């Protein structure tokens, strides 16, 4: 895999990932871009201890442009985009409207509220363009194309993990307007957070308690039980198993888990990366067949934090959808939004049955 690093007109970095080691990427970004926005602020909620980013500049980000004005397509004569090249395999660039960005630490408190720490939202936000083809989707990529995306995820995870101020790296994809997607070009994002996320903190506490009681990793035991049962397994390959979790929160939810405990994407072997490509494509094909329409979803990689809990973590991908039927959405209403107590509209076994039958 060849990685080429270039610079956009406003100083942001762009990375090209190519399978051809002889491929040259030399196109310059000649756009007249505005100055980069100020770094966002983040504040810690004194009641929960959770950090909240305040990124007001994101109100002006690109919103549902027509296909012929997509900023993620390759540049053409007379129409320059975020990708200066005329084509690409996989491209990753710094987000023009980041929630987190490079900054020096400057801790303070909110005026009049000494119990509310604040400071610049240090970190990094990147956009991952899975393909130059605007009209396709991740599930329609070839295994070789998915393999290139995995290389990009792993490369960026390694580099962002070494970036000052970054405590956790989160790779994810949002697909579909029902999820809130405003750019239809197949793409995902990577966040380098300046803290360990609340969900990861909870998962690490649970993993630590389970290991103290049983002497084994909790996800390892779950994976072994799901594979032994087979009741909720959707795809089982040499190195990965995809299953509907027994306590699924979402009406459609699938976890894709490697058979070997590794902390992050960087630690995967070539064989595990190859096998993920075909396994994940099979999962996505089944999900799109569930309602006979492209399924809106969020695909979220759970990786170990940079400096803590790495021995407790077990890399896995969680994919879930808000679509509870072909034309009905699952809304996070009072119980879910107000108390974080989930009520699912279907059983995991019902969804597993349908995915297995496809």
How many angstroms separate the CA atoms of 29 and 92, rounded?
15
Concerning whether 187 is annotated as a catalytic residue, the answer is yes
Strand ranges inside the chain, DSSP E:
2-7, 13-18, 41-44, 51-54, 90-94, 108-110, 113-120, 124-129, 168-175, 187-193, 233-236, 240-243, 252-258, 297-302, 316-321, 323-325, 328-329
Helices 270-290 and 143-161 pack at an angle, to 10 degrees, of: 120
Sequential DSSP letters for 126-148: EEEE--S-TT--GGGS-HHHHHH
Which residues, at least 6 apart from 267, have a Cβ–Cβ distance to it below 8 Å? 315
Show the tokens assigned to 54. 């305040």
Q: Which of 184, 185, 187, 302 is catalytic?
A: 187
Helices 198-214 and 218-229 pack at an angle, to 10 degrees, of: 80
* Catalytic machinery residues: 187
């Amino acid at each position: 895999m060849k990685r080429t690093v270039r610079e956009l007109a406003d100083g942001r970095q762009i990375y090209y990932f190519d399978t051809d080691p002889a491929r040259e990427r030399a196109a310059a970004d000649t756009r007249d871009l505005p100055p980069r926005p100020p770094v966002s602020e983040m504040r810690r909620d004194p009641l929960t201890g959770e950090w909240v980013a305040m990124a007001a500049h994101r109100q002006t980000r690109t919103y549902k442009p027509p296909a012929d004005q997509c900023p993620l397509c390759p540049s053409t004569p007379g129409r320059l985009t975020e990708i200066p090249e005329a084509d690409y395999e996989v491209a990753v660039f710094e987000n023009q409207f980041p929630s987190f960005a490079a900054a020096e630490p400057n801790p303070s408190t909110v005026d009049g509220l000494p119990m509310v720490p604040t400071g610049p939202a240090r970190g990094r936000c990147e956009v991952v363009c899975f393909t130059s083809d605007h009209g396709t989707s991740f599930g329609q990529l070839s295994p070789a194309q998915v393999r290139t995306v995995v290389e990009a995820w792993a490369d960026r995870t390694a580099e962002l993990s070494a970036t000052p101020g970054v405590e956790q790296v989160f790779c994810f994809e949002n697909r579909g307007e029902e999820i809130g997607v405003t750019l239809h070009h197949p793409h995902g994002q990577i966040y380098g957070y300046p803290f360990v996320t609340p969900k990861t903190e909870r998962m690490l506490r649970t993993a630590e308690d389970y290991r103290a009681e049983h002497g084994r990793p909790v996800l390892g035991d779950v994976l072994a039980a799901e594979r032994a049962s087979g009741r909720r397994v959707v795809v089982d390959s040499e190195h990965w198993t995809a299953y509907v979790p027994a306590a699924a929160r979402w009406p459609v939810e699938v976890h894709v888990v490697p058979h070997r405990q590794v902390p992050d994407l960087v630690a995967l072997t070539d064989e595990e990366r190859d096998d993920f490509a075909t396994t994940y494509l099979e999962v996505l094909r089944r999900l799109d067949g569930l309602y006979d329409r492209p399924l809106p979803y969020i695909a979220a990689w759970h990786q170990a934090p940079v400096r803590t809990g790495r021995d407790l973590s077990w890399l896995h991908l969680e994919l879930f959808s808000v679509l509870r039927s072909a034309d009905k959405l699952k809304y996070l209403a009072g119980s879910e939004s107000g108390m974080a107590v989930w009520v699912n509209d279907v059983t995991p076994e019902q969804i597993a049955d349908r995915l297995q039958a496809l």
